[in-house]
Amino acid sequence: MLRVEYLYWLVGAFLIAAAWFNVRERHYSMAAFWLILSGPFVFGDLVLAAVQRNEALPAQLMGGGVVALGLLAARGGLRSKADTPAEREQREHSAARIGNRLFAPALAIPLLTLALFFAGRHLSVNGTPLLDPKALTLTSLGLASLLALVAAVRVTRARPLHSIVEGRRLLDSLGWAVLLPMILATLGGVFAATGVGETIAALASAVIPVDSRMACLLAFALGMVVFTVIMGNAFAAFPVMMAGIGLPLLVLRHGADPAILGAIGMLTGYCGTLLTPMAANFNIVPA
């Protein structure tokens, strides 16, 4: 069975490779940043297992790593080197040669993800699912990305190693901004863990007619918009609204499909993002 942990390990291996390339070029701050970030992907299972055994040290070390990431970003040393004129000319020539075929692998990712998601429920060998049923969406997305990578190598006729080199270049260009989705999702988790979701559920139950599906759905959608405006990102608002209205009122009370509800929540959440000129997604990512 293809477990989602295997994909996390693959991401961790890529981050370690990016760190190694930066060490070779003496970009030590950038190398340290990617090396530390690889830790949660590689050792996440071990940390969770330690937490379940009431061992605090691994989680504390992981928290120290997060603090170190913030300090490295604050130092301002996470800047990628500019492309040389020769590299820029070679990239433009390659893009002109390939043309619109270059978009095929990228467009294949969502299509393959959908196909694998719907087919994954029926794929099994001797009763064992081929794709991890506990994280079918993530597993489908990861496998679709790998298949698209193979297609990209075929389309561009480049060496497989070149994908790692170019991936590392793009990663360096983004720098610390790649942490935004994870950090903001964690922020939403913190709000949910501190009981904000329960407070919202109590307020919603007192204000809206909870027996009305439409009223609950409107409260969820508009709540996603408002909380995204407040927090600056839908990743942070989603856990709060799902815990407060989505799960107790729509899923448990009215039998809503969690997958469809999640799609509605993220769509309305990013409508809230578009209402905020200072939204984190669009204005603090390096150009």
**Which mean pLDDT values do the consecutive 10-residue runs of the chain (287 residues) have?**
88 94 89 92 90 88 90 78 69 73 86 89 80 86 92 85 87 83 77 79 84 91 89 80 88 89 91 74 52
Q: What pairs with residue 124 in β-bridges?
A: 129
Q: Are 251 and 258 in contact (CB under 8 A)?
A: yes
Residue 210 lies in a domain: yes
> Cα(50)–Cα(59) distance, rounded to whole angstroms?
8
Shared domain check, 105 and 71? no
Q: Look up tokens 């997958």; give the residue.
A: 259
Backbone angles phi and psi of 257, in degrees to 5:
-75, 120
What pTM does this model have? 0.77
Q: Among 28, 54, 75, which residue terminates a domain?
A: 75
Shared domain check, 125 and 66? no
> Cα(265)–Cα(19) distance, rounded to whole angstroms?
36
Shared domain check, 62 and 16? yes
Residue 163 lies in a domain: no
Q: Structural domain tally of the chain?
A: 3
Shared domain check, 32 and 67? yes
pLDDT of residue 121: 81
Q: Are 235 and 188 in contact (CB under 8 A)?
A: yes
Q: How far is CA 43 from CA 30, 53, 135, in A?
A: 20, 16, 18
> Cα(22)–Cα(67) distance, rounded to whole angstroms?
21
**Do β-strands 128-129 and 124-125 pair in parallel, antiparallel, or remain unpaired?**
antiparallel
pLDDT of residue 287: 45
> Cα(234)–Cα(190) distance, rounded to whole angstroms?
14
Shared domain check, 265 and 185? yes
Shared domain check, 90 and 70? no
Shared domain check, 272 and 190? yes
Shared domain check, 277 and 220? yes
- Listed in sequence order, the residues at least 6 apart from 94 whose beta carbon sits closer than 8 Å to its beta carbon are 156
Length of the chain: 287
Q: Which long-range contacts (CB under 8 A, 24 or more apart) does 9-14 make?
A: 9/41, 9/42, 10/142, 11/38, 11/41, 12/38, 12/39, 12/41, 12/42, 13/38, 13/42, 14/164, 14/167, 14/168
What is the span of the domain harbouring residue 121?
Answer: 85-158
Shared domain check, 195 and 271? yes
Residue 109 lies in a domain: yes
Burial (Cβ within 10 Å: 0-12, 13-18, ≥19) of residue 77: middle
Residue 164 lies in a domain: no
Q: Among 24, 41, 75, which residue terminates a domain?
A: 75
> Cα(224)–Cα(240) distance, rounded to whole angstroms?
9
Shared domain check, 38 and 106? no
pLDDT of residue 81: 67
Shared domain check, 184 and 277? yes
Taking Cα atoms as reference points, which of 285, 186, 175 lies closest to residue 235? Answer: 186
Shared domain check, 274 and 233? yes
Residue 170 lies in a domain: no
Residue 264 lies in a domain: yes
pLDDT of residue 279: 58
pLDDT of residue 214: 92
Residue 166 lies in a domain: no
